[in-house]
Structure 1
Amino acid sequence: MSYRPSLTNRQGCAASCGGFCNTVTTDLVKGKETRTRLDREQVLEAAAGLVKQHGPRALTMRKLAAELGTAVTSIYWHVGNRESLLDALVERTLADLGEIRPRGRTPAQRVASVARALRHQLRDHPHLIAMVHERGLTDRMFLPAQRVLVRELHAAGLRGARAADAVRAVQVHVVGHVLVERNRERAPAQRPGEHRLWDAHGADADPALARALTRPLDAERLFTLSVRALVAGLLGPPGGSRT
């Protein structure tokens, strides 16, 4: 059983939303009433959520319609076909990565903050990032973060090739750290694990070191520690200290 509004009602709804929302009948979709209004951003938000949870292969127009409680035809009306939807999600991801903002009082603090923000973006959206990569848009994806880093490195006095090396060093450090984190998360249980491999004798009579190495790795803490050390070296005197 369904209710289809009259032409007058449909025209009134279209006028009230300025023509930017889709008016959908209240037909039952799997026992639920469909939404009467839906916009493109709601569709993209729901699609991004499905991709984040289950990956792009799990994203179908039927599943998306069920998630939104609407008709499949409404999804097509807003975003076109599935390939167009995926393209829109990629563009949305690129826009989100372009919103990274540095924080801190000094250039070193701000560079480190950009690295942390970029890491969180890559960690939080692995499937969407993979879609960007598959479309050959990885360089474009990193460009906004690179531009922010350039500004901060210029503020710290770095120019030319030295600044370029610093930008790439930070980017590669972030990407490499994220890849290692993911590999550790997906790896099978280690037998024996670090807690059995290290003892005071194996640590050159350094029991505190052995105890520290038997604790679980804190990825967040390690990243902060390593990126601060990296930035300090990059912003230090050219060549650094030599021993």
Structure 2
Amino acid sequence: MARSALTREEVLRAAAALVRELGPDALTMRGLAAELGTAVTSIYWHVGNRESLLDALVERTVAELAAVTAHGRTPVDRIVSVADALRRDLRERPHLVAMVHERGLTERMFLPAQRALAREVHAAGLRGTRAARVVRAVQFQVVGYVLVERNRERAPVQSPGEEVLWNAEGDTSPDPALARALARPVDTGHLFAVSVRALVEGLLAVPGPPRGPVG
């Protein structure tokens, strides 16, 4: 039996869930209608055709990534919290973020995070080119890190992998503790927190005006 009280937001929420789980190619109007227990005509009535639906999902994703707030007591803590939130948002929506990029809206998508970072950098006392450098460096760190994470997750199983290679080095390495540490699985969340904090602390501590253009 078809549903009678379907809303546009329910359609978009269900479509976003399908794309997040299976990718945009898995999103069909019939499949979405079946997922929602409604008629295909109801889907068309709420969101138009498939291209209109994809456009609406892109706008929805951009709006979701706009909800960026900082947390923490120190400037470093607050900047790191924005970076962490941005990484989490990008990781949770890889297919949707790719759709945003394909439609040429990447810069618009990142603008709220840039503004949140700028507010915190200003609160730390930086202005102008120095402030812009911190904003860009943190943004690039987050995006680059997420790309590396995604690449590692999608890569074929490595044989031999790091565990085997570094365990074999353990007996002959001049730093056995390092070899043992690199033989263990990577805690990507912890590594991100350590690296972005070190980056922010270093950038905020640099005295005087920077040399050269931003970037």
- 1:48-104 CA distances to partner (integer Å, 9 max, x unpaired)? 011111111111110110000000111111111111111110010000000011111
Equivalent position to 1:97, from 65, 82, 97? 65
**Partner-residue secondary structure (3-state), 1:208:** helix
Shift of 1:201: 5.0
Structure 1 CA distance for aligned equivalents of residues 82 and 89 of structure 2? 11
* Corresponding residue SS for 1:216: coil
Map Cα deviations across residues 155-193 of structure 1 (whole Å, 9 max, x no partner).
001111111111110011001101111111111222222
Structure 1 residues 103-141: Cα deviation after superposition (integer angstroms, max 9, x where no partner): 111111110000000001110000000000000000000
Match of 2:185 among 213, 216, 225: 216
| 1:203 equivalent in structure 2 | 173
- Whole-angstrom CA distance in 2 between matches of 1:203 and 1:190: 22
C-alpha separation between the residues in 1 aligned to 2:7 and 2:172? 62
- Identify unmatched segments of 5+ residues in structure 1: 1-32
Amino acid at match of 1:228: R
CA distance 1:192–1:146, change in 2 (3 Å):
same
Alignment match, 1:74:
42
TM-score scaled by structure 2? 0.93
Whether 1:109 and 2:77 are equivalent positions in the alignment is yes
Structure 2 portions without partners, runs of 5+: 209-215
Return the alpha-carbon distance in structure 2 between the equivalents of residues 128 and 163 of structure 1: 30
- Show the counterpart of 1:155: 123
Tell me the number of residue pairs that the alignment of Structure 1 and Structure 2 aligns: 206
Out of 170, 173, 197, the residue aligned to residue 141 of structure 2 is: 173
SS at match of 1:37: coil
Amino acid at match of 1:124: E
Q: Provide TM-score, normalisation by structure 1.
A: 0.82
Q: What is the 5 A alignment of 1:1-243?
A: 33-198=1-166, 199-204=169-174, 206-238=175-207
Whole-angstrom CA distance in 2 between matches of 1:129 and 1:80? 22
Report the Cα distance in structure 1 between the residues aligned to 2:40 and 2:156, rounded to whole angstroms: 40
Cα offset, 1:210, TM superposition: 1.2
Supply the AA of the counterpart residue of 1:225.
V
Percentage of pairs with the same residue: 70
Tell me which of the two structures has the higher relative contact order, counting C-alpha pairs closer than 8 angstroms and 6 or more residues apart.
2
Secondary structure, in 3 states, of the residue corresponding to 2:30? helix
